[in-house]
Amino acid sequence: MRFVVRIVGLLLVAAAVIVAGIEMARSFGAGKWAVIPLGKLWYDLSPGSLNLTQALIQRYLAPQIWEPGVVTVLTWPAWGVLGGLGLVLLILAGLTARRS
């Protein structure tokens, strides 16, 4: 299990680096900082899964979780969310490795 968590963490950090690189390239081209929000990245990659996630959260959990909770996170820079989550997973995998 620790191996899977570590791989997912590394993939998320790699995705964060890629998104940050794309963001920097777009920023240089535009002449101003061009942030890629997590929601836009998710929608560009899979709009159906974003809509399904929204429907599931609002219908089966609570509408208050989606708005303002998830919506706020979806406005954050994608590289920050992906990288942060990846680092948390890598830290957790490292902590479980020390306990074993």
41 burial class (0-12, 13-18, 19+ CB within 10 angstroms)? buried
Averaged pLDDT, 43-67: 95
**Which pLDDT does position 6 carry in this prediction?**
95
pTM assigned to the model? 0.88
82 burial class (0-12, 13-18, 19+ CB within 10 angstroms)? buried
Q: Is the pLDDT of residue 99 over 80?
A: no
**Which pLDDT does position 1 carry in this prediction?**
85
